[in-house]
Structure 1
Amino acid sequence: MKPRPPKAAGPGEVRIVGGVWKRSKLPVPFSPGLRPTPDRVRETLFNWLGQDLAGWRVLDAFAGSGALGFEAASRGAAGVTLLERDAALASALRANLKRLDKDGTVPMVIENADALAWMRRAAPGSLDLVFLDPPFAQDLFLPALAAAAPLLAEGGLIYLESPHPVEAPPALGLSVWKEGRAGAVHYRLLRRGG
């Protein structure tokens, strides 16, 4: 039997797993290195965080598919900022927001920006939760942690996704609160101030 040719790379989709947009699908254009956080990992993460994020100020620093930021908005976060360096992906994120937020009332901002540069300029202590899921091949884990840590309010959390466990330098004042692994993905919730 002749082997089938590989499927052409093209658009995909991710599903929002909870909140007001539960089961909504986010179309995701093809982009080299883009690896949306799997549904199962997002379910675990939001079980840890709680299903209601009312009042939380959230940053999805390497948004990509936007799955993490849209999950936070779906669960009532007070403000969600998505940063995406790739212009085509940022445009897709805006289209998804427009489709889901028909009346324009969801407090979400999407910026076509370099995450590290943006975080280095942002106000210290201004966030409750930062999602860090940088491209695995670029090894931005420690620089991203260093840029994100000062942005957290006391008790704030950083979610870090990586191909191996990443230890935060003690000087950042972060401690591991929860951690897990799904296949080749390691994920941790780090808390500021213990």
Structure 2
Amino acid sequence: MRKKTTSKANQKDGMIRIISGQFKGRKLPVKNVTGLRPTTDRVKETVFNWLMQDTREATVLDCFAGSGGLGFECLSRFAKQAHFIELDKLAASQLQQNIATLKLSNAEVINSSAIDVLSNNKDQLTFSLVFVDPPFRKELAQHICELLEQNQWLTDDALIYVEVEKELSLVAPNNWQIIKEKQAGQVLCRLYQRDN
């Protein structure tokens, strides 16, 4: 979820569209929360072309869920489960409502900061597909990637999608290999695979 500077007063609540899978074409409401911008359909199409063979039965973690567009796309494509981390209360509440609308029993919303959640893996959860799409220019991506690896949140061959501003020099953990990369405007999209 990206941060933008447009004032709240000029914006109405929006919608996201699920582009494929069992919920293809469904539109879900998104709260107009300052700083949230859903991933565009164009970028989603690229990402899910990369992940075409990897979403079914995946255990998914969306670290900065915002609208939930990436996580809902995975669930539409038969992911086993998805956990949405979202700090903003309104956005988290809307995620919960959208889960209820889609009648999903395999999705959970965690209303907290990604750093707080990932700092301790006391339940020893692991994820095979993780999305790291933080607000721009907050220096969050590097820290989150380090926490994912250090605190054993990832399966042995997990896929990690990272979306950051193109000028950011992200240093991924040594055992993460870039398998796909694309620049779309000001955004740099990378897909890593973890090698244990």
Q: TM-score range by the shorter chain?
A: 0.7 to 0.9
Q: Is the 8 A contact 1:162 1:186 kept in 2?
A: yes
Give the one of 176, 191, 194 matched to 1:192: 194
Residues 64/27 of structure 1: CA separation in 2 closer, same or farther (3 Å cut): same
Aligned length: 184
2:17 matched to which residue of 1? 15
Q: Is the 8 A contact 1:79 1:107 kept in 2?
A: yes
Pairwise CA distance, 1:168: 2.6
Structure 1 distance, partners of 2:82, 2:172, is: 27
Q: Which of the two has higher C-alpha Rg?
A: 1
Q: Is the 8 A contact 1:52 1:75 kept in 2?
A: no
1:74 matched to which residue of 2? 76
Pairwise CA distance, 1:80: 0.5
Structure 1 distance, partners of 2:172, 2:30, is: 34
1:167 matched to which residue of 2? 170
Q: Is the 8 A contact 1:125 1:154 kept in 2?
A: no
1:116 matched to which residue of 2? 115
- Residue type of the partner of 1:127? F
Give the TM-score, by structure 2 length: 0.87
Q: Report 1:23-34 matches (<5 A).
A: 23-34=25-36
Structure 2 distance, partners of 1:170, 1:92, is: 33
Deviations 1:89-117 (A, max 9, x none): 0001111111112xx4x411111111111
Give the TM-score, by structure 1 length: 0.88
SS in 2 for 1:137: coil
Q: Report 1:86-97 matches (<5 A).
A: 86-97=88-99
* Runs of 4+ with >3 A deviation: none
For structure 1, list consecutive stretches of 5 or more residues without a partner in the other structure. Answer: 1-6
Bigger drift between 178-187 and 45-54 goes to 45-54
- Residue type of the partner of 2:171? A
Q: Is the 8 A contact 1:175 1:193 kept in 2?
A: yes
Structure 1 distance, partners of 2:111, 2:173, is: 31
For structure 2, list consecutive stretches of 5 or more residues without a partner in the other structure. Answer: 1-8
Relative to total residues, which structure has the larger helix share, 1 or 2? 1
Structure 2 distance, partners of 1:180, 1:154, is: 24
Give the root-mean-square deviation of aligned CA atoms.
1.9
Structure 2 distance, partners of 1:124, 1:179, is: 30
Q: Is the 8 A contact 1:94 1:110 kept in 2?
A: yes
1:131 matched to which residue of 2? 131
Residues 24/153 of structure 1: CA separation in 2 closer, same or farther (3 Å cut): same
* Sequence identity percentage: 39
